[in-house]
Amino acid sequence: MEVIIQPASEAASVKAAQIIGDLVRRKPQAVLGLATGSTPVGLYRELIRMHREEGLDFSRVTTFNLDEYVGISPEHPASYHRFMKENLFDHVNIPAANIHIPDGNTPDVPEFCDRYEAQIRAAGGIDIQVLGIGHDGHIGFNEATSSLASRTRIKTLTKATLSANQRFFSESEIVPHHVITMGVGTIMESRTCLMIAFGKGKALAVAAMAEGPVTAMCPASVLQLHRQTILIVDPPAASLLTRTEYYQHVYANKPDFQKVSAFPISSATIS
């Protein structure tokens, strides 16, 4: 796992966008796994800027979102369909046919989940999966004790997650108790996992996932076993890490090409 500590959340978002932009330029048909919530908003804002001002072309890109609530319409203000439209898709040139978000209103959840997995495989797998991290170390909506080999499925949210997500709903609304989410095993098959985390409130989870034991009690900790995980954080989120000086030394002394590339892409990968 590579840990990159940036001076502020804005700089961290720009760095994450540079990594994604580098991939899209070198592999125009890249497959991106996308996340929602407040953390990736700055990342998406920077990708929009790169599209408008630098000509970053998404016309051959395919996307798969991590999750969606069960039982709310795609037009609901808190739906992840709407979030993605407002924060990215309405502002870049990803073809609508290439956009995939779990269907929270599917009449057959198990069948849909199997089909979502098949669509990811048919697209060639995910090149970069964008991730945030919950206060308890969950990724996607894979709550603590989730199987580290799990696939896309329906999950019941914890009371803590329901409370944290209430801010996205009106006071009179009940946060949906169920979601469809990519599984931990699905996430682990991505070629690169790109996690961003900001603020003191994420510091404990960040330390547990990066330096703690690999355990289902902190699902994000399984990323220690991933072949290419990049963790980009601001100083408050990094405040409980024990090897900060080492992480900063490693990043400062990297070859320049590695500072904007997720990993060297072989000719076989980009063909």
Residues annotated as catalytic (active site), given as ranges: 67, 136, 138, 143
DSSP string, 201-260: GGHHHHHHHHHS--BTTBGGGGGGGSSSEEEEE-TTTTTT-S-HHHHHHHHHTS-GGGGT
- Ramachandran angles phi, psi of 108, nearest 5°: -135, 90
* Token digits of residue 216: 């289902």
Contact 241, 200 (CB under 8 A): no
| Type of residue at 191 | R
Q: Which of 84, 70, 38, 37 is nearest to 174 (CA)?
A: 70
Spacing of C-alpha 75 from chain mean position: 22
C-alpha–C-alpha distance, residues 223 and 32, integer Å: 18
